[in-house]
Amino acid sequence: MAEWFDMGKHTWFVWGSYGVFAFFIVAELLLLERRRRTILQRLSRTSRMNSGVNDET
């Protein structure tokens, strides 16, 4: 297993590239999912608020 990750004298360059690449992809996906969740949460909060107002009237 360890020898797979051994890229000779180029280990840092290869894994530095792939690592940062993977980091950015994962970060983009996580941020996107979080953004979606915040939007939905905010929307459901406002809709609950509005329905509450309607019940009272």
Which amino acid makes up residue 31?
Answer: L
| Residue 8 lies near other proteins (rule: CB under 8 A) | yes
Number of residues binding to other proteins, judged by CB under 8 A: 28
What's the Cα-to-Cα distance from 32 to each of 14, 24, 37, 45, rounded to whole Å? 27, 12, 9, 20
Q: Which of 2, 26, 30, 32 binds other proteins (CB under 8 A)?
A: 32
Separation CA 3–CA 26 (nearest Å): 26
Contacts with other proteins by CB under 8 A lie at 4, 7-11, 13-14, 16-18, 20-21, 24-25, 28-29, 32, 35-36, 39-40, 43-44, 46-48, 50
